[in-house]
Chains A and B, each alone.
Chain A
Amino acid sequence: MHILKLIFKNAFRHKLRTFLTIAGITIAILAFGLLRTVINAWYAGVEASAANRLVTRNSISLIFPLPISYKDKIRQIEGVTNVSYGNWFGGIYIDEKNFFANFAVEPESYLKLYPEYVLPPDQKAAFLRDRKGFFAGRKLAEKYKWKLGDTVVLKGTIFPGEWDFVLRAIYKGRDKNIDETQFIFHWDYLNETMKKTAPLRADQVGFYMISVKDPALAADVSVAVDKTFKNSLAETLTETEKAFQMGFISMSEAIVVAIRMVSFVVIIIIMAVMANTMAMSTRERFAEYAVLKTLGFGGTYIAGLIFGESLFITTAGCVTGTILTFPAAKAFGDAMSQFFPIFNVSVNTIYMDAAASVVVGVVSAIIPAYRAVSIRIADGLRRIG
C-alpha cells in the first residue's frame, strides 16, 4: 500500500513534466489506435466474408464478363446450394466525390446468400416487387438523407446513361462489421436496359456468388466450377469470398504495410520520450534511492518504485488515449466513410493499446531501474542538492 502511495506521489513531483508525458502517450496511443483501426477497416470486407461463399469471375480479369447461362450449370454442381449473380455498376451520384459501392444483383438469391443484410419484411417485399427499386445501407441513406420512396438518379460510367431508381428498403448490418453504405438494385433492370441500348452487353454478369453446403467443400466446388467452363470462351476463376476480398487488398498491400510500420514507429518514438522522462526522474532521485537502500530497502523495492511510476504514467496515457480513440474514430470514420465504410475500434485494437502501453512502461524503466538499483550507496548519497 505504501509503495503505491509513493509511486503516485513520485509521479506527480514534476506535474508539468508528468502531464506533458501523459499527453504525449495519449496522442501516441490515439494515433496508434486510429492507424490500427484503418488497417482493420482495410480488412473489413475480408472479416465480413462467409466461409461457405464462393465468388466466380472471368479468369482473365474481373472486368471481363461471364455469360448468364453459366448460372444453371453452376447450380447443378454437387455441393452448391444457391447461386446469385451481379455486376459492379460503378454509377455516380451527382458528383464523383460521392463515391459508394453500387451493384446490380439478382435480388432474391442475393438476399438469401447475404442474410447479414437485414431488411424489414415489408420493405423487402416492396423492393422485390419494384424492378426499378433499390435498397441502401442505413449509413448511406442517412448520409444523403434519402427516404423510402425517393427517386435517386445515378450516372452510369460502365453502363452509360442516367439511371433512376426508387428507394424501397433500407438495410441494417446484422453485425458491426457489415458495410452499411451499399446500393443494390435489380440486375434485370440493368439487363433489360442493356438489351435495348447495347444488346451485345446484355445477358452478361460480372460475377457469380455461390453458397456451398459445407465450407469444407469450398475447394472441391471451386475446382468443379472452373473445370466445367474450362476451354470455353469465358473461363472462370472461382475462389472463396475471403480470397476474393484479399485479392483487392493485396493490390494495396504496400500501403497497409506502411501504415502498420508507422503505427509501430509512433510507439517507438513515445518509448524514447517516456524513457527520457524516467531517466530524468530517477537521476534526480539517486540520493533518495541511496537513502532507501541505507535504511534497508532492497533493489526490488526501488525497482518497483521506478517500474510502478513508469507504468502508472503510461497507463494514464493509455486509458485517456483509448477513451479518446472512440470519438476520434467516429469523426474519422464519418469523414472518410466513402473509403472506409466500416470504421470501428475493435477489441483487439484496445488490447494492442494496452499491450503497447505496458511495453513502453516496462522498457522505459529498465535502464533507470538498473542504474538506481546498482548504484553504490556512498555514490548515491554524494548526489545531493
Chain B
Amino acid sequence: MEKQPIVEIKNLYKSYRRAGQEIPVLQDINLDIAESEFLALMGPSGSGKSTLLNLIAGIDKADSGLIKVVGTDITSLSETELAHWRATNVGFIFQFYNLIPVLTAFENVELPLLLTGLSGKERRGHVETAMSVVNLSDRMDHYPGQLSGGQQQRVAIARAVVTDPTIIVADEPTGDLDRVSAEDILELMERLVHELGKTIVMVTHDPRAAGKAHIIRNLDKGVLNAYPQTHI
C-alpha cells in the first residue's frame, strides 16, 4: 500500500533580492515525502537544497506555492503560529550542532520542552529517555565543550526528538564530523526512522550519507530533478 505523504509541496517558488535584482532560488518545486521516509536532498552549493529544507521546516517563507506538512498548510501561518507549529512538529539537526554552550547536555535537550506545559519532573523523564536513545545517559551534566563532535551531534539529535516531532530536518548533519562519528550519526538517524517511525529530510553533500536515505532527490539551480536518483 502506498504511504500517505506527510509533506506535500506544490508549485513552490522562492527567490531572493540582492542589489535590486531578483535571484530565483527554487523554481516550481513539487515534492511528496511519505511518513517514516528518509529523504536526502543533494546538489551543488547554491542549488537551493538548504532553502528547500528551511521552507519545509517553516523557518523561511516561500514566494508562492503550497507546503503542507502533517496536514497543515504552513505557507498560510503567521510567524507566531509558525513558531508554535515548529515547536510541536519539527525537530532540527544542524551541521555545527548549535548547542547552547553555557547549558549542559541535559539543559540543551530540555530547551524545546520549556515551551510545553510539562512539569519539571515530566521534562526530566522525557530528557532522560531522549538521552538514552542517543546513548548519552552518562553525559547529561557535561557541557558541549566537554563533548566530542559526534557526542555533541548526538545531543542535538536528542534535542530534536525530545518533543516527539513528526518530521526531523537535518542540514548536513555529518558535515563537521570524522568518518566514524558520521557513521554513528547516520546509524542513529536510521534507527529514528525504523524504530521510532520518524520522517527525516536531510541535506547533504556526502554521497555516503545520502546512501543511507531511502530516497535521494537532486536539486540543480533551484530545479528538482523529475525522478528520484536512487531508491533504496
Contact = CB atoms under 8 A, between A and B. Distances in A.
Given A378-B54, A384-B98, A295 B59 contact: no
A280 to B, nearest CB: 16
B157 to A, nearest CB: 14
Contact of A10 (B60, B84, B94, B102): B102
Interface in A292-351: 292-298
Nearest to B156: A291
A291 B98 CA distance: 7
Contacts of B98: 287-288, 291, 381, 384
B59 A378 contact: yes
Contacts, number: 58
A296 B59 contact: no
A13 interface: yes
A6 interface: yes
Contacts of B87: 295-296
Contacts of B80: 298
Contacts of B103: 6, 9
Interface of B: 50-51, 54, 57, 59-60, 80, 83-84, 86-88, 92, 94-96, 98, 100-103, 111-112, 114-115, 159
A280 B159 CA distance: 28
Contact of B100 (A291, A377, A385): A291
Nearest to B120: A1
Contacts of A10: 102
Contact of A296 (B86, B94, B159): B86
7 contacts: A6-B100, A288-B100, A291-B92, A291-B94, A294-B59, A294-B92, A377-B60
A61 B115 CA distance: 75
Closest 9 CB pairs of A and B: A296-B87, A9-B102, A377-B59, A291-B98, A384-B96, A296-B83, A295-B112, A296-B115, A296-B86
Interface in A188-204: none
A129 interface: no
A140 to B, nearest CB: 57
Interface residues of A, number: 21
Contacts of B100: 6, 288, 291
Given A10-B102, A294-B59, A385 B96 contact: yes
A376 interface: yes
Main secondary structure of the interface of B (DSSP, over half): helix
A294 B60 CA distance: 10
Interface in A1-33: 2, 6, 9-10, 13
Main secondary structure of the interface of A (DSSP, over half): helix
A310 to B, nearest CB: 17
Of the listed residues A10, A287, A294, the one surrounded by the most CB atoms of chain B closer than 10 A to its CB is A294
A293 B112 CA distance: 10
B102 A297 contact: no
B83 A293 contact: yes
B17 to A, nearest CB: 13
A295 B92 contact: yes
A294 B111 CA distance: 11
B94 to A, nearest CB: 7
A297 B59 contact: no
Interface in A266-292: 287-288, 291-292
B83 to A, nearest CB: 5
B115 A295 contact: yes
Contacts of A13: 101-102
A6 B101 CA distance: 11
A294 B163 CA distance: 14
A297 B83 contact: yes
A2 B86 CA distance: 21
Contacts of A378: 50-51, 54, 59-60
Contacts of B111: 292, 295
Contacts of A291: 92, 94, 98, 100
A238 to B, nearest CB: 69
Contacts of B51: 378
Contacts of B60: 376-378
A288 B156 CA distance: 13
Contacts of A294: 57, 59, 86, 92
Nearest to B169: A294
Contacts of A384: 95-96, 98
